[in-house]
Amino acid sequence: MANLLIVHGGGPTAVINGSLYGAVMAAKADGTPAHIYGAIGGTEGVLNERFFDFKTCRSGRLETLLQTPGSAIGSSRTPLQNGDYEKMAEIFRKHDIRWVLLNGGNGTMDTCAKLAKACEGAGVSVVGIPKTIDNDIPFTDHAPGFGSAARYLAATVREITEDVRSLPIHVCVVEAMGRDAGWITAAAALAGQAPGEGPDLLYVPERPFSKERFLSDVERLYREKGEAVVVASEGLKDETGAPVVPPVFQVGRATYFGDVSAYLAELVIRELGVKARSEKPGLAGRASVAWQSDVDLREAVAAGAKAAEWALEGRTGVMVGLERESGKGYGVTFVPVDLSAGMLSARCLPDCYVNARGNGVTESFCAWCRPLLGEAFPDFFHLPHRAGGANL
């Protein structure tokens, strides 16, 4: 009698429970595992031997995982100590766990590599399912979670833009998640599905942020059309590499920064004398079921199923990587990525995806990103002169 275990790591996405569903259903269909456990509370849950058996759930109830945000089994960010890997290997032995799937970001994939090594020779397979909102995991075209975070931001910016353009004289700054990588911020460019839609300016953390260039960009748009919609990454840094937002205060060793969007809106008010506001959807952007990308959800489920399949075949120390198919139309295949390569580098936007002035993205980014957002947005009603992008 042997069992399969799924463990979550790091922050959740809109589709991490989709990967969980895929893995559980694949394990059920395979029939080999006696129990299909989820660790309650990530690796902390493993160390405390807290498990939930998904075999007790009917299919109908399991399907609700597809529309549940957050992590249904709980996750953890607690760093593992050196002895913890051996401890977990012993817990696996104690509970007859032979197949282990870790679903998380860079840090969790690194944990996955170390755990696979600690389980070498013990007959335990350890496979990683990537998860991200930032799209910063290397060795994969993209990872589950990003497409939905991107769709959420693009859809939300698209709607906010309609609202802002209803009234004259207005600047709005929307803050996007992603402290080091601008993938989500960049996805806001896809808010523009028809002429006149979408944001005016995008600032990503890969380019040094200049207050002067920003104010100049906003001032020009304000003069031309009386408004500007700006999307800014929460992680903008200036030319020296320091965060653009002054620290709010220090608690111990941790510095707490204010919100980039609020800071930029205040800059506009103070320096240009123009009415401006800021929006920071924050966590809503990674918890939104309404704006899940159907493509992302499908890939998340399939990646979870693939991980279970590979573990049950005896593969270990690999992550389910997504490789984009070449040729007409969009599609992905799953490829095993050797985790011993080292997973702790964060992948940023390539330079060719950001425009020269550093306030927008290129069409090659849009072409790469568009399929990941899933189905087209519903059409809006626009008066004829809106097509030119002018304010009403």
- Return the active site residues: 134
Q: Please report which helix (H) or strand (E) contains residue 370, including its range.
A: none
First to last CA, the chain: 69
Report yes or no: 244 and 260 within 8 Å, Cβ to Cβ.
yes
Q: How far is the CB of 268 from its own copies (least distance, A)?
A: 11
Whole-angstrom distance, CA of residue 174 vs CA of residue 154: 11
Q: How far is the CB of 160 from its own copies (least distance, A)?
A: 5
What are 95's two structure tokens?
Answer: 């509970």
Q: How far is the CB of 345 from its own copies (least distance, A)?
A: 24
- Amino acid at the residue 89: A
Whole-angstrom distance, CA of residue 312 vs CA of residue 46: 20
Q: Please report which helix (H) or strand (E) contains residue 384, including its range.
A: none
Q: How far is the CB of 70 from its own copies (least distance, A)?
A: 3
Q: How far is the CB of 298 from its own copies (least distance, A)?
A: 18
Nearer to its own copies by Cβ, of 272 and 335: the residue is 272
Nearer to its own copies by Cβ, of 1 and 251: the residue is 251
In the three-class reduction of DSSP (H, G, I as helix; E, B as strand; rest coil), residue 114 is classed as helix
Angle at 294 between CA 56 and CA 67, to 5 degrees: 35
Q: How far is the CB of 283 from its own copies (least distance, A)?
A: 5
Please say whether the dihedral angle defined by the alpha carbons of residues 55, 60, 66 and 72, taken in this order, is positive or negative. negative
In the three-class reduction of DSSP (H, G, I as helix; E, B as strand; rest coil), residue 199 is classed as coil
Q: At residue 10, what are phi and psi to the nearest 5 degrees?
A: 75, -170
Q: How far is the CB of 82 from its own copies (least distance, A)?
A: 22
Longest dimension (CA), the chain: 72
In order, the DSSP letters of 125-165 are EEEEEE--SS---TTSS--TTHHHHHHHHHHHHHHHHHHHT
**391 Cβ partners below 8 Å, 6+ apart?**
165, 168, 225, 226, 227
What are 78's two structure tokens?
Answer: 């607690």
Q: At residue 374, what are phi and psi to the nearest 5 degrees?
A: 80, -150
Nearer to its own copies by Cβ, of 116 and 176: the residue is 176
Report yes or no: 177 and 285 within 8 Å, Cβ to Cβ.
yes
Q: How far is the CB of 278 from its own copies (least distance, A)?
A: 7
User: Which residues, in sequence order, are bridge partners of residue 318?
Assistant: 127, 338
Binding site for its own copies (CB under 8 A): 8, 11-12, 17, 40-41, 44, 52, 61-62, 64-65, 67-77, 155-156, 159-168, 172, 248-249, 251, 256, 258-259, 262, 266, 269-270, 273, 277-284, 286-291, 378-383, 392
- Amino acid at the residue 33: P
Nearer to its own copies by Cβ, of 231 and 349: the residue is 231
Whole-angstrom distance, CA of residue 211 vs CA of residue 280: 20
